[in-house]
Every structure is written in structure tokens, then in C-alpha cells.
């Protein structure tokens, strides 16, 4: 856990929650308040009121509102990155793993609409150097997609005319936008949205041979499921 500089981690008062639990609650509440009011419209007093604590007590955890936004956005980025990296590490060739990453990213987005909205809307509210600190020097999140496309291209699964970085940006641009229109309980569940987006993305970059092999695998799975 990132500790505010120059502040003690000691707690007093037997009725207080453990620091880890209270910190998680602070991040959740701040995320909701930033979502509802926007970073500029939200105040530390709003967050303290929602938590049922004095505004001054927030400084036990943070140094400023910007500090808190940084921690909120870092948490959102870290959690999403963990999801796509886990999907990228599953068995299969690079194209199969890319498909899984797209599915995982879309489903995670649909199930975390508020944090996603805060991340995408408020990242620019941070100073540029702090935004870069969140994203990483190589844009780690984007890099998961780009690296898989590059690997698939080397393996002859993605067409040679595809530019991996642009392809990764295209996939992320379309899938990130899901948060704007997805509604829980609506016509399309997260799994169906993820499957369609993944299918469209793969069809847009894969070689004819890779698509034929993919269709063969799907037909075999369907036949096995029906036997």
C-alpha cells in the first residue's frame, strides 16, 4: 500500500477500523464521489461526510485531494491491468490469448462502470507526470494488447500489413467505450458483448489461415458439446 509521505501508520482507539480496511473504504467512497460530482466539483469534505469522519482525519491517509485522485486512478488501473495480464497468461496461441484478453477487459469494464468512468474522465485532471506514473512509461495496459498482436504476427496469425500499436489502440478505443452505453440487466450481458467485440477484433486482423483454424476449433468444440 502506498503510504502518505511523512505520516505515521500507527493507529489509536480500539474502535477504529484497521488501516487497510479503512483505506479500501476511503478509495471506494472517493471513487463514487468523483464519479457523481467530478474531480473539480468534489471536495474532501464531501468524502469525509460520506465516510462519517472529520475532514481533518482524511489527512491521516492523504496529503491532498490530488493525492487521493492519484490513488483512486492508480487502483483502477492496477485492478484492470491484473485482469488482462491474467487473461494473457492463459494457455493458447497469441491470437487465442488476445481474444481472452478482450473478453476479460470488456467483462471487467461492464462490472466496474463507476471506477472505469472515473479513470477515463479524470486521468487528465492529474498533472502530466503523475498521469505517466499511473500508466507506466510503456503504457503497460496498452502493452498487453500490443505485445500479443506482435507475437501473433510473428507466428503468422496476424496479417503482416497490421500495425500492432494502431491495432491495440483500435481495440482499446472500442472496448473502453462500452462503459458509456452498457447498462446492467440490459439486452446484452457482459459475456455476449465481450464475445462479439473479441470476434470482430480478431476477424479484423487475423490471417485467413488463422481464421480457418479458429473456425475449425470452434466447430470441434460445438460437436464435442453436442455429443
Tens of pLDDT, residues 109-133? 999 999 999 999 999 999 999 998 9
Residues 186 and 184: their CA atoms lie apart, in Å, by 5
* DSSP state letter for 2: P
Domains and CATH numbers, the chain: 17-62 (1.10.10.60), 65-131+138-221 (1.10.357.10)
Residues 172 and 55: their CA atoms lie apart, in Å, by 38
Mean pLDDT for the chain?
A: 89
Closest CA to 153 of 99, 95, 208: 95
Q: What residues of the chain score a pLDDT lower than 50?
A: 1-17
pTM here is: 0.85
How crowded is the C-beta side of 84, counted as CA atoms within 13 Å? 24
Cell numbers standing for residue 200: 470482430
Cell numbers standing for residue 92: 493458447
Cell numbers standing for residue 96: 487465442
The 3-state DSSP class for residue 206 equals: strand
Amino acid at each position: 500500500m502506498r503510504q502518505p509521505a511523512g505520516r505515521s501508520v500507527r493507529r489509536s482507539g480500539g474502535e477504529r477500523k484497521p488501516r487497510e480496511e479503512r483505506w479500501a473504504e476511503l478509495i471506494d467512497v472517493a471513487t463514487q464521489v468523483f464519479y457523481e460530482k467530478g474531480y473539480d466539483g468534489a471536495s474532501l469534505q464531501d468524502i469525509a461526510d460520506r465516510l462519517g469522519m472529520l475532514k481533518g482525519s482524511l489527512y491521516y491517509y492523504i496529503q491532498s485531494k490530488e493525492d487521493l485522485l492519484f490513488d483512486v486512478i492508480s487502483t483502477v488501473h492496477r485492478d484492470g491491468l491484473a485482469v488482462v495480464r491474467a487473461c494473457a497468461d492463459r494457455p493458447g496461441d497469441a491470437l487465442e490469448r488476445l481474444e481472452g484478453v478482450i473478453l476479460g477487459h470488456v467483462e471487467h469494464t461492464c462490472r466496474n462502470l463507476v471506477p472505469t468512468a472515473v479513470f477515463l474522465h479524470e486521468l487528465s485532471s492529474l498533472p502530466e507526470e503523475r498521469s505517466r506514473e499511473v500508466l507506466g512509461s510503456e503504457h503497460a495496459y496498452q502493452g498487453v494488447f500490443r505485445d500479443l498482436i506482435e507475437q501473433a504476427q510473428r507466428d503468422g496469425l496476424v496479417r503482416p500489413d497490421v500495425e500492432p500499436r494502431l491495432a491495440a489502440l483500435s481495440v482499446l478505443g472500442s472496448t473502453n467505450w462500452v462503459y458509456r452505453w452498457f447498462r446492467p440487466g440490459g439486452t446484452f450481458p457482459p459475456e455476449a458483448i465481450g464475445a462479439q467485440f473479441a470476434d470482430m477484433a480478431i476477424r479484423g486482423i487475423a490471417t485467413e489461415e488463422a481464421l480457418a483454424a479458429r473456425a475449425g476449433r470452434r466447430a470441434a468444440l460445438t460437436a464435442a458439446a453436442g455429443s
